[in-house]
Structure 1
């Protein structure tokens, strides 16, 4: 009979003790392997590898122009606007050539300006629309820019600028001169001006016999004060070129507008104005001037092309302002009542003035 072999007590618990604790029957688990070093990077799974790209400082930005897809601009006038609105924007023919040209002029008018820019509007001859040009230029710049603009009537002979803009000439430049030392703030200045839309208006003395003539030193003092509060200062000067205020106007001007007409006398007087400027040391102003031909008076017998060619060879630009029934009344000017061609002519004039901002802003170059 075979002899029964008893288990070694020292190993019995390791072999059978798990049955008492409810563990499944089976061989004991294999001992854990010691930690192995991490796999090299090249042996890792592709999903475990870093996919971050190195920083590139010159990547394109996410500005509106870069992110939005190109789309046709919304038309704002004519049949194109009507079609766009009737179809709820589903049909967009885009702006026409005239509207695109107008937007380009507005972009130029809104050029940034540091400091003050002084514009002189003058003519050796009266009755050619000088005050009308100063009025419409001031309104055009003021209504289409975000800064401050003022138009000053420097006519020593009871100018009509305020009548064409606000009808209020009770307070004039003479009162401002009398109180000049007390004017320290924008609120102080505004007491001496009237408002036409966004344009501030400083009237001239309405009774020449009531006070002394407007002198050069007085104009320069007023202009220096206005330069502290306004970005654009437009001066409607008198018709004479030799009076004292005109000397101050020309000495301070950054830009010059010479007004004439497409007539024999209107064109010849504008040309003589340029001759006078050159003869009296203002050749730079004459070369950079803008000649405005006011077409309220015109004749089929006059060769308009020859007049334009003459001035185009002498000055920076020539602008023709067509006849406009609203301006012809001589009453108060409202830009909204101008014919589109007239409004576009003054937009062109305003853009030509603004073209000089980047090279003349706030600078006295004499």
Structure 2
């Protein structure tokens, strides 16, 4: 018998057609400044591409929008008040909620009639106390939203406004509220109030995945931030201290103080340092409107958001 002809080769699996291989490379379109004006007036025929500042901002946005595997709890804290802690908590919450697609909430855990809700929404009629009273009846997103107010896309949970009963916000109550919020929100930012010894602080740190320590480029402001880190280490939170982000609010500064040395000191102790520049809008102490912030201030909060998001998938050890 004549030999059988060889079987024709079967075609293999077709290679995937990737978008990056089909599209011709293009220079990114600039979004601001003279570069955008030149691009637009020439109909795109001349495209200088984004400048260094725009590329930096794009990189920060990419980091802010990084993946989040589960609920992440951020404690914003300082050993004493008066350094802009509530402003930083508000700015961080606004930044993360604006540039991410998931749900974010800020919780005022200040036992002394905190002002977080006043700075963000002006509405502190319903507080964490009412939520605690009804906690067993809260089962849906609609239920939760009855106890919060809204600043842009950011949900805000106000603190108890009666200082006489504020001390009743105990550790176990904070943990119950935080656990509930973790069922409905991806990011929970806690303005932890003044001082470190009130009961809710123990619960804040027990639940925290990361901390932001607030200080200032002054002798007392830097000393407070350093003491906050020392306190964390001394009370069993070495991992939180090592991975902390330090924010220096620069509304108070003096040429007699070496601010660069202060920044270097905290960079040697923590994961990152952000300087928030003076801003007339924040200096009023009134309700924060992100559209009225100076660009440098908005960029500082964006850098803070990026540093916090960098830790979303980090597993902390003591």
Fold agreement, TM-score > 0.5: yes
Out of 11, 15, 19, the residue aligned to residue 55 of structure 1 is 11
Question: CA RMSD of the aligned region, Å?
Answer: 2.0
Is the counterpart of residue 215 in structure 1 residue 170 in structure 2?
yes
How far has the Cα of 1:74 moved from its partner? 1.0
Pair 1:316-2:297 in alignment? no
In the alignment, structure 1 residue 143 sits paired with structure 2 residue 94: no
Tell whether 2:311 aligns with 1:351: no
Alignment of 1:14-163 (within 5 A): 55-57=11-13, 59=15, 61-163=16-118
Matched-pair contact (CA < 8 Å) for 1:125–1:266 = no
How far off is 1:218 after superposition?
Answer: 0.3
Of 259, 281, 284, which residue of structure 2 is paired with 1:304? 259
Note the C-alpha offset of 1:210: 4.6
Instruction: Find the aligned partners of 1:340 and 1:299 in 2 and give their Cα distance.
Output: 23
Distance, in Å, in 2 between the alignment partners of 1:356 and 1:205 is 30
Q: Which residue of 2 aligns with 1:34?
A: none
Question: Against the structure 1 CA distance between its residues 260 and 58, is the aligned structure 2 distance closer, same or farther, given a 3 Å change threshold?
Answer: farther
User: Is 1:257 matched up with 2:212?
Assistant: yes
Distance 1:288 1:297, change over 3 A: same
Total equivalences in the alignment: 315
Matching residue within 123, 128, 144 for 1:168: 123
Q: State the distance in 2 between where 1:242 and 1:167 align.
A: 28
Unaligned runs of 5+ in 1: 1-39, 42-51
Q: Is 1:276 the equivalent of 2:231?
A: yes
Residue of structure 2 aligned with 1:232, choices 180, 187, 202: 187
Instruction: Please report the TM-score for the alignment, with normalisation by the length of structure 1.
Output: 0.82
For the residues of structure 1 that align with 2:167 and 2:253, how far apart are their CA atoms?
A: 38
Q: Moved runs in structure 1, 4+ residues, more than 6 A?
A: none
| Aligned-residue offset at 1:55 | 3.2
Normalised to the residue count of structure 2, the TM-score between the two structures is 0.95
Inter-CA distance 56–323: structure 2 relative to 1 (3 Å threshold): farther
